[in-house]
Amino acid sequence: MKILLVDPKNYDLKYSINPWMNLNQSINKDLAKRQWNKVRNELETANVKVSVCNSEEHLPDMVFAANAGMVVGEKVILSSFRDEERQSEKKYFMKWFTSNGFEVVNLPKNMVWEGEACSVIVGDWLLASYGIRADKEAYEDIIKHLKIKKVKLVELIDPYFYHLDVCFSMISPEVSLVCPLGFKNSDYDWILGNVKHVIEVSYDDALNFGCNIFSDGKNVFISSRISEKLEEDIIKAGFIVHKLDVSEYIKTGGGVKCLILNLS
Ligand code: ARG
């Protein structure tokens, strides 16, 4: 598996665009770098191939690679950020993708959609969140670039779960981690009907970024703040759990997965 990380040297908390970003808190930058290095090392030890994109000085959230876009084969659908504070990340991600041989797809102007963080493949479907950081209409375009043609739209209703990856993830094609409180009842029923094994994640675990995981199908990389119960549930489902301290990233609304973009 190949993934993209963005170096943490310019990571900081300088503005607030989600409820996690409390400006009375500050980032321990050395600790943030150590935590990022640990994430990188653990991934590489598990044979995940890591590429690194350089961050830009004036873009403190650029470290969250999951918001760069969504890679589909040799193409990348670039994100279109809601907030002005993040909008210029796009041109630097575009540069990285172009110089690394990807064909870049841009969404129509004024569409909001923040990449892999907003949409996840579930069987033959794209589970497509909208409401906080993604417009429903963006999927009309996105779908043109995917092999998958079925879109299940789900509205995100909790401001703490402003991206889908904070309350939902797939660990393998058959197993998912889901916080039911992140979804309308009918959407949660859809998930139950379309995923073979749903591991229910409590609201507390989701707020500790317990849904925000990266998995290679065997190893699950997850926030170290999760409960023993969630850890046991993941182990019982057949996976190896790697707990990583991402405290400095949680301060701005990010967990392990937010730092990672799938490249293959
Ligand atoms: N501070 C960032 C923002 O609000 C955090 C992004 C987290 N990324 C994610 N994939 N959930 O945009």
Q: What are phi and psi for residue 168, nearest 5 degrees?
A: -155, 140
The model's pTM is 0.97
Report the domain count for the chain.
1
- Tell me whether residue 163 is one of the annotated catalytic residues: yes
Task: Output the tens digit of pLDDT for each of the chain's 264 residues.
Answer: 999 999 999 999 999 999 999 999 999 999 999 999 999 999 999 999 999 999 999 999 999 999 999 999 999 999 999 999 999 999 999 999 999 999 999 999 889 999 999 999 999 999 999 999 999 999 999 999 998 999 999 999 999 999 999 999 999 999 999 999 999 999 999 999 999 999 999 999 999 999 999 999 999 999 999 999 999 999 999 999 999 999 999 999 999 999 999 999
From residue 172, alpha-carbon distances to 84, 121, 145, 220, 240 in Å are 35, 11, 23, 10, 12
State the CATH number of the domain containing residue 136.
3.75.10.10
Range(s) of the domain holding residue 93: 2-262
* Secondary structure (3-state) at 215: strand
Please tell me the distance between residue 254's alpha carbon and the centre of ligand 1 in angstroms.
5
Please tell me the distance between residue 258's alpha carbon and the centre of ligand 1 in angstroms.
6
Query: Which of 61, 79, 260 to mutate for ligand 1's pocket (most ligand atoms within 8 Å of CB)?
Result: 61
